[in-house]
Structure 1
C-alpha cells in the first residue's frame, strides 16, 4: 500500500512538473512571437469630414505592417478646414463601415468613442431637457407690508467652465432658451450674511481639470464647526411656495412679519458642449444622471452606426470590439428631472429645504449644510456610475462589445469608483516636457485593474503639445515608456495617428493641430518602427500574464470628487516617478467591499492580495465602511490608520455619529489617539495607530517610511532593491516570478539587485531582440535572490524565475568588450533628392548632417544610406557584433546583402557572427532622422499653407507649388531660426567581441 501511495505521489509530482514546464514553454513562445492582441494601438483621429476610403485603407494597412493591432476611432475639429463628408451623414457612416470592414480583414480591433469629439456623449440631437443640468436660483427680497407685486426673475445659467467662445450661434440660443422651474422657497432673512466657501466646487457647479493644477485632488471632510449661527437659516422657517407661483413668475403670497428672501429654483443646461467635435456634431452633452436621456443619445449616434455595419460578430479578431469613454472633460452637473426622488431613495431624506445651500446659503448650521453637500455629491456620483457608466456598459454588452473608461480629470465622481465600472480601465500620460503631468491617472488605472482583476491596462500614451514638433521617436521615448510599464501599463495606445487624408506626396501631412506625438505613416521613421513595436509587444505580452505584486493598499476617503494620489514619499521622481521597494495600489470604498482575508493577506476575487492596508487621514467614515474595515482586521488583516471622528452626511444623523464612536471604541479600543505608535490586536488581525500616523508630509496618508518600517517588522522583505537607479515591477503566478527592470539613466551600469523570490534559477529575457539567456552568477538566500545586472543606457530586461529551473549558481565575471576594428575611411552616402538631399556624397569621417555646409544635407529629413567595404580578419571564437556608436535616430543594417536588423535605442549593436566572413565584407546602414530640420529649412522659403482656415489655392486646384518648399503640414511648429537637431550616423562604427 505504501509503495502504491508513493507511486501515485510521484506521478502527481511528475504531472505538476510537466504542467509547470509546459506553462513556461508557452510563456517563452508567447514572448518570442506575441499574438496580435498584445500589440500596441493608436488613437485614430479624423478631422471634421476630411476622410476618404483610400486614406482609410492606407492607414489601416500601414498600421498592420508596422505592428499596430488596435485603435480608438474619434472624429474632432482641431485646426483643419472642414472636409466634405458631414459627420454621421450617409456617406460618413458608409466610410465608417468601410473602416470597420477593413479592420476586420486586417485583424485590427476598433474601439469607438461614445460621442463626437473626444470628451463625452452628446450632440445637436440632445434636447435641453435631456442635457447635463444645474439647479440654479434667483433671489428676491421682500418685507411684510410691501404692496408691490412679487415677480420672481428667471434664474440665469451658470457661466460654462470653458466659456462661450466655442458656442455656435444656434447652440447659444438653445442654451439660453432651455429652462424648467423646480421650486420656490421663502425664509426669513438671516441676521448675518455668512456663506459657504468654494460653493461652486462643493455643489458641483464646476469641476476643474486636476491635470491642469486648477483643483484639489479631494474635498476635505464635511466641516464639524457650526460657523456663525446668525448666518444660518432655520430649517423649520423655510416655506415651500412652489404651488403659489404663476407661469409668468408672479408669486401669489403675502410675507409675514419681517424681511424675507424668496428663492426661485430652476433647471438650466450646464453649458457643456461636445468638444472639440466636428461641426455637425456640436451640441449639448447628454444628461449623465438619466438613462432615458443617455439611451436616446446612444441610439441616435451608435444606433445609426450599428444599423450601417450590421450585427457585430464577437468571434472576429478585428473590427468593432469596444466602446470608450475618454477623459471626463464636460464638467459637473448637480440636477436632473428626477434628482429629488433619487436623493430621497438613496439618502433617506428630502433635500427640498436644503436647496438654498446650492448657492452657498447656510441651512440649519454650517455643519449641517456641509453634510448636505456631501450627500449631494455622493448622490451625484452614484447616478453617474449607475445611470451613465453602468448603462453604457450594459448597452455595449447588448451589442457584444466591452467598455473602456479613462476615469479622470474633470470627473465629478471618485476616479477609482468610476473606473471600476470599466471592463478595461484606461490611463493617460503625456510626453515628458511636452504638456501636462497626468501620471496620477496611471496610478489610478493600474490600481483599478489590479484590484478588480482586469488583465489589460491600456494608456493613452505620449500625448503631447507645446511644440513637440515631430521631435519624439522610439529612442527618445524608451525611458518614459519603461516607466509606464513598471507603473503597471501594459498596452500603449499612442496619441495620435492622424488620418492621412492628404496626398502621399505632402508630408508630414495632416496633424491634430499641435497635439500628439505624430504616430502615423507620414513619419520619417515609420518604415523602421516595426522593430520598436516588437519590443513593446513583447513587454506587453509578459506584463499581461499572472498578476502584479503589490504589498500596500491605500484606501481612499469616501465621497466625491476624488483623485487618488499616493503619498509622494512612496514615489521616486516627479512626472515619471518610480515605485519604491514596496509597491502599492489604491482602492475606493465600494471596491473594498469585495475584499476578504486569507493567510493574513487582504485578497480580492480577481486575485490581487496585499500585506497591509493604509487608511486615509480623514475625519469621516460611514458606518458601512467602518464595519467592513473592522471585519477585515478581525479576519487577520494588518491595518494602519487612526479612527474617524464622525459620519460624513445627514443620513441617519445624528445616530450615525453615535454609531461611529461606538464602533471606534470597539475596534480601536479608544477614541483618544496615543502619543506613540500602538499595535493593537483585534480578532486575528492587527491595527496600528497613533500620533506618528498623523505626522505626514502629504496629510492624507502616513509617510512611506513608516509603512515600510511596519512591513519589515511584520517580516516582509522588500520586493526589489538595487544599488543603482533601476525601476521595476514584479508579476507572479504559481509557477514563476518575473521582474521587469529598467536602467533609468543615460549611462551604462552594472547594478547589484536583490529580488524577493527563490522559485528557481534566473534567466534574462531581452524584449528588444527576443533573446533568452541563463544567468549563472546569482546567489539565493532564503526567499531572496541576488544578481549583478549589466544594462546599457535606458536598457531594460525581464528577469524570469521559473519554478522548475533548479540550476545552481556558477559565479562569472561581467564580460569585457573588445574592439576588433573601427570602420573608418571612406563612406559613400546616398540621400533622397525628393527631399532636397544630394544623390551621393563620399566622406572621410562621420559627422552630424545639421553641421554640414551643404543646405541639402543641413536641412535634410528622411533616410540616407551609408555604404562601405571592409576586410575582416578576426576569429569567431566568441560572438561578433557591429556597434554603430551613436545614431540619430534609427538605423537598419545590411551585411553582405542580408538584412541584419533595425536599431532604435542603446545598445546600438547587433550580433553578426553568422553573417560576417573572413576577407571582404560589404555593409550598408540606412539611417533616418526626424522631420524638424527639413521643416526648419522650409521656413526659409515663402509660406504656402493654410491661411484663414482655408486650403491654399495650389492644393485645391491641383497646381504646381512655386514656394520651393519640400514639406507640407496642417500645423506650423517651427521658425527659420529654430535650432536644428543632430542627425545621421555619428559613430564610431566598430566590430566588437
Structure 2
C-alpha cells in the first residue's frame, strides 16, 4: 500500500511508455494456469463454506451525492452478513433526485470523508474493494481531461479542380464541431448519448488525388432535383446533398403514400455504381425506417435496390452498375405510418465504385459482419501513385499549387473531438473521454484519477484498501485519429498511411481489393492500439499503486475495433456481463453467452482461472422491476456458469442513504435490485451460498475443452456470436481463440494445440468469419497443419491486410487445404470430423432428453468434477454419460451442501449415472474415490402423505407495509386473491403458523419425514418446534424435518417473503393518497398484473421409504 501521494507521483513519472515492450512481454502470460487445487476432504470442507475467492461481489453505486455514513455502515454490514465479500464502487448520476439533507458532491472534502469511512470500515470487514475507471460507469474520462487529450475523429473537406494550370484555392474550413462523425452531432443507434459541445480542430494534411476519367462530378451531369416535399430549391438541394456535411439536414415531407423521397432526373441515362446516404427520422428513433434506391427510365415505373444497415450517420453502398435516367432515394416508416418527418443530409450518386460500407470499414462505426460485405471488384479507380501530398503548398488554409493535367480531388484532412463524455456521472464529475490511442494521455488520465483516490482513501490503495480498478463495458464510441497515427501505422504495418488516406473517405485506390486490404490494416491498427494502450497499459500504470484490474470490454455486441480477448488478456480478473430478460422468459441470449465464454476463454488460456461477470443486469421498463427472486435469477445464473462464469459480481446494490424510503434508490431504470432494502435482504445469504458453492467448484482444477474455436480477425466474439453460438455437436466444450492466441501463444504438440497455461485442445475449428485471413495467421495455421493438428473449417477466400502477398496467400491456402491432408477438412460437419477422430463426447445423455441440459467439466489432480444443469421448466429423468472411468460418482448439491449416492455403471470407457433433475435444477457429479465396482443400483425411494395441513393458518404480516397486523386464513391461496387491499398488494414477510400431530405408527419405518410446502412465492424460512431449518428459495419446496418432529403435537412456522412488485403496483392505484414505497422511477401502472404471493401450498407431511 502506498500512503504518500509523492510516492505515487514519482512512480508514475518513472513509468516507461514503451507499451510494445510491455504488451508482448512474456511475463504477462501465465506460465501455468492458476487453478484451484483442493482435493479430498478439503474439497468438501470448502464446498460447505466457500472461501472469499468464490463468493460474490456487488456493484455499489453512490447516486448523485445521496450519501450518508449511517447508510454506508448499514450497507457494508448487510453485505458481510449476506456473504458478499467485496464491492465495486461507482459514483453515478442519472438525474437521481436528492433525498438526503445535503448532497456529498464527488471528490469534495465531505465526499472524501465519507469515502474514507467506507474504505476503513470495509477493510475492517476484510472486504475486497474496487473502483470504476471513471466517474459514472463508462469509460475513462472526467473534467480533468484536456481537449488535446480527448478522443479524436478524422474529418475532411473536399473540392474538385481541373489541373493543367496554377491553382490558388481557399480550402473549406475543417469541421470543428464535436460529435461521432464529421459534423454529425446525434447518435448512431437512436439512444441518447452525452457529448460536450466544443469547437476544436487541427489540420493533419492536404492530399490531392488525380481522378480516373470515369469519375464524373454529379454537378457536371446537370440533374434536375425534385422531392416529395422540400422548401429548398433544386439547386440548393443539389448543393447540400452532394456536399461534405452529414449534419445539415434538409427537411423533407412525406407524400400521400407516406414516402419521403428525393429524385435525380438526368437528360441522358447514367450508369451509377455507388450511392452515399445520410438520413434520419426526426419524429421518433432516428433509424426506425426503411430506405431504397429506386431507378427508372421513364420516371413512372421504378425498380428498387434495398439499402439497409441504418444505424450510423452515413452509409456508402456499392451497388451493381445500374443505368437509368431517374434515381430516387425513398424512405418510409417500417410499420406503415404515413405522417413522418425525415431529414436528408446526403444523397450522392457515384459513377465509379466506392467502398461498400465505407464509413464502417474506416472505423466510424462497428458493423459486426464486415466479412460479408466485400466491395465488387473494380480497377477503374484512381491510382495510388497519383496521390500527392499537398501539405507543403498550403498556408493559412490556401492551396497554391501548379496542378498537373487531369481532374483532381483535393482533401483537407484534420481532426476534431468526438466530444464523448464519461457517463452516467454526476454533473460535477462529467468531462471528456480520454484519447484511447494515446499512451501518454491515458497515463496522465489515470495518474490524475487515481491521485484523487489516494487522497480520498487516506492512501489506502493496494492490499488492505482499493485493490482493483474496474473497466466497465466500453461505451465511448469510435475514435479514428490520434496525434501519432502516422508513426503508429508505419510501425505496425510497414508502409505509409498518408497516400492511402483518401480511401478513408470511401474512394477506391488502385483496385477494390488493395483498398479493402488497406482498410483492414487501418482497423486493426486502431483496434490493437485500443487493446494495448487503453487496456494492457493499465497493468503498468496500476503497478506502483499495488492495484490490479477487473476488465470488461464489448459486453454484447461490437463496441469498438479491438478484440475483446485482447482487452482482457492481462487483466487479473477478465470480466463479462449478462442481463435478465424476465418478461420474455429468455434465460440467456447468445450475445451474453459469447461474452461470458470470451472471459472464461481468456481465464483458461492466459491462466487467471477466474472469470467474473457483471451479473443479472436488467432494464426495469423492459425486463420488469423488483420482480427478481432467487428462483427467477437461478436459471440465468446457471446458464452463465455453463458458459464458464465462476465469480458473480451482482448488479446492482445501490447505496441506500436513508431508511424511511423503501425500496429506495436505484441505478436509474437499471436493476436487478439487490440491497438491504430488498424484501428478502435478511434471507439473501441462502442465495449467495448457492452461487458461492457453485463458483468454488467451478474454480477447482482445470477446465476441459476439446475444441479451440477460432472466430477470426477484424471482429470479436460478441460481434460474431450476437445471435448464434458455435455449431458444435452436443457434449463437447470449447474455448474461443483470438488472433493473438493463434499468433503468439498457441503451439502444436503431439497433434494437440497447447497454450502456456497448460490447456490442450484436440481440434481447431474455424468460424465462417475467417473468409478473410492475414498472412501471419495463415502461416501459423500451416505450422499447426504440418504438426498434425486437426483443423475443421472452410478455407479463407481473401488475403486480409497489405502486409502479405497474394502469391504467398494462395500458395499457403493450397498447401493447407488442397493437398489431401487427412487432418484438415473443409465443408465437413464437425460431428463427422469428431467421429472420424474416435473422440467421444465428454458428456452425453445415454437415455432421456438432452434439450436445455448443459455441462461443465473440470479436471482435478485426483479426479473429475462435472456440473450438470437443467435449464428447462420440466423435470428430466436421464442417464448421464461421462467420459471418465475408475471413480465412484457422488452428487453434491450447492443449495445446501448435501451429498447423495447414485446408481451408476462403468462400461466402454464411460461412467453412466442415473439422475433426476427437476426444473432449473443443477448438480455436481464428483469423481474422486477410486472404485473397482463396475455397477451399482441403488434401491428406489417411495413416498406417502402422512398429514395434509388443511386446518386454518394464523398469519402475521410485516408491519409498515399496509397490511393488518394479523389474519386467519382458512385455506391457502395467493395473497393477491384477498379482497383486503393491504393484503392483496402486500410485499414483505408473512409468517404462517400451524399445528400438526404425528403418531409413532405414522412415521415408524420411514427413512425420513419431509415437509412439502407446495407452491411458495417467493422464499420460505421454516421453523419446526422452534428449530430453524433454514431458508428455501426454489422449487420443489421440500424440507427434511426428520430430526425436528416429535411424536404428538408439532408446531410449524413458515415465514414467506415475496417481491416488492405488488406493493409498488398497489401504491399507484386510484385513490391512494399515502404511498408506502419510494422509487425514483415510475415503473408501474395501476393495471400492472400482480405476482402470486405467499404460501400457496398445498402443505403436506410426507414419509419417504427406501425400497429394500
Shorter-chain TM-score tier: 0.7 to 0.9
Which of structures 1 and 2 has the larger relative contact order (alpha carbons within 8 angstroms, sep 6+)? Answer: 2
Matched, 1:609 2:760: yes
Counterpart CA distance in 1 for 2:801 and 2:373 is 8
Quote the residue 2:292 is aligned against: none
Matched, 1:525 2:545: no
Quote the residue 1:212 is aligned against: none
Matched, 1:109 2:128: yes
Matched, 1:688 2:825: yes
Q: CA deviation at 1:344?
A: 0.6
CA contact (8 A) 2:63 2:667 kept: yes
Q: CA deviation at 1:421?
A: 3.2
Structural mapping, 1:328-727, within 5 Å: 328-408=474-554, 409=557, 410-433=559-582, 438-465=592-619, 466-501=622-657, 503-560=658-715, 563=718, 565=720, 580-592=730-742, 593-617=744-768, 618-652=770-804, 656-670=805-819, 680-681=821-822, 686-689=823-826, 692-693=827-828, 706-722=829-845, 723-724=848-849, 725=851, 726-727=853-854
Counterpart CA distance in 1 for 2:1101 and 2:144 is 66
Matched, 1:298 2:449: no
Q: 1:508 aligns to what SS in structure 2? A: coil
Counterpart CA distance in 1 for 2:1004 and 2:690 is 28
String of CA shifts for 1:258-283, please: whole Å, max 9, x gaps.
43221111011123221222111222
Q: CA deviation at 1:542?
A: 0.2
CA contact (8 A) 2:987 2:1063 kept: yes
Counterpart CA distance in 2 for 1:112 and 1:412 is 25
Structural mapping, 1:198-237, within 5 Å: 198-207=357-366, 215-216=367-368, 218-220=369-371, 223=374, 226-227=377-378, 229-230=379-380, 232-237=381-386
Distance change (3 Å), C-alpha of 1:504 and 1:850: same
Matched, 1:320 2:320: no
String of CA shifts for 1:19-68, please: whole Å, max 9, x gaps.
x9982111111101101221112111121222122212211111111111
Quote the residue 1:179 is aligned against: 201
CA contact (8 A) 1:414 1:563 kept: no
Counterpart CA distance in 1 for 2:726 and 2:511 is 41
Distance change (3 Å), C-alpha of 1:830 and 1:222: closer
Which range moves more in the overlay, 514-523 or 429-438? 429-438
CA contact (8 A) 1:160 1:271 kept: no
Q: CA deviation at 1:969?
A: 1.2
Counterpart CA distance in 2 for 1:803 and 1:184 is 74
String of CA shifts for 1:637-673, please: whole Å, max 9, x gaps.
2111343345311225xxx222222333443354xxx
String of CA shifts for 1:243-263, please: whole Å, max 9, x gaps.
22223x122224334432211
Distance change (3 Å), C-alpha of 1:814 and 1:402: farther
Say which structure is richer in strand.
2
CA contact (8 A) 1:862 1:928 kept: yes
Q: CA deviation at 1:564?
A: 5.9
Distance change (3 Å), C-alpha of 1:51 and 1:806: farther
Q: CA deviation at 1:636?
A: 3.1
Q: CA deviation at 1:343?
A: 0.6
Q: CA deviation at 1:467?
A: 5.0
Quote the residue 1:13 is aligned against: none
Question: How does the TM-score come out when normalised to structure 1?
Answer: 0.87
String of CA shifts for 1:172-214, please: whole Å, max 9, x gaps.
442xx2111100011234432332121221111123xxxxxxx
Q: CA deviation at 1:372?
A: 1.0
Counterpart CA distance in 2 for 1:470 and 1:570 is 30
Counterpart CA distance in 1 for 2:608 and 2:193 is 39
Distance change (3 Å), C-alpha of 1:188 and 1:601: closer
Unaligned runs of 5+ residues in structure 1 are 1-19, 208-214, 573-577, 671-677, 694-705, 944-962
Match of 1:59 among 70, 75, 100: 75
Quote the residue 2:108 is aligned against: 89
Match of 2:1042 among 908, 913, 922: 913
Q: 1:220 aligns to what SS in structure 2? A: helix
Counterpart CA distance in 1 for 2:560 and 2:386 is 36
Match of 2:874 among 747, 760, 769: 747
CA contact (8 A) 1:411 1:561 kept: no
Q: 1:498 aligns to what SS in structure 2? A: coil
Q: CA deviation at 1:711?
A: 1.1
Distance change (3 Å), C-alpha of 1:382 and 1:107: same
Q: CA deviation at 1:162?
A: 3.0
Distance change (3 Å), C-alpha of 1:453 and 1:32: same
Quote the residue 2:94 is aligned against: 78
Matched, 1:284 2:394: no
Q: CA deviation at 1:147?
A: 7.3
**How many pairs align?**
902
RMSD of aligned alpha carbons: 2.5
Distance change (3 Å), C-alpha of 1:688 and 1:259: closer
Counterpart CA distance in 1 for 2:139 and 2:499 is 33
String of CA shifts for 1:687-727, please: whole Å, max 9, x gaps.
223xx34xxxxxxxxxxxx2122112211111111223422
Counterpart CA distance in 1 for 2:463 and 2:131 is 18
CA contact (8 A) 1:77 1:277 kept: yes
Counterpart CA distance in 1 for 2:1075 and 2:430 is 36
Q: 1:528 aligns to what SS in structure 2? A: helix
CA contact (8 A) 2:461 2:467 kept: no
Quote the residue 1:118 is aligned against: 137
Q: 1:451 aligns to what SS in structure 2? A: helix
CA contact (8 A) 1:444 1:564 kept: no
CA contact (8 A) 1:887 1:985 kept: yes
Quote the residue 1:162 is aligned against: 187
String of CA shifts for 1:909-940, please: whole Å, max 9, x gaps.
11111111111111111111111111111112
Match of 2:119 among 100, 103, 107: 100
String of CA shifts for 1:351-408, please: whole Å, max 9, x gaps.
1011111111222222221111111011111211221111112212232222121121
CA contact (8 A) 1:545 1:731 kept: yes
CA contact (8 A) 2:630 2:1034 kept: yes
Counterpart CA distance in 2 for 1:331 and 1:890 is 42
Counterpart CA distance in 2 for 1:50 and 1:354 is 52
Counterpart CA distance in 1 for 2:818 and 2:167 is 64
Match of 1:240 among 373, 381, 389: 389
Which range moves more in the overlay, 254-263 or 486-495? 254-263
Unaligned runs of 5+ residues in structure 2 are 1-35, 216-349, 1104-1108
Quote the residue 2:333 is aligned against: none
Distance change (3 Å), C-alpha of 1:165 and 1:806: closer
String of CA shifts for 1:75-112, please: whole Å, max 9, x gaps.
22224126722222232233222222222111221221
Counterpart CA distance in 2 for 1:569 and 1:379 is 28
CA contact (8 A) 2:953 2:968 kept: yes
Q: 2:835 aligns to what SS in structure 1? A: helix
Counterpart CA distance in 1 for 2:1070 and 2:723 is 49
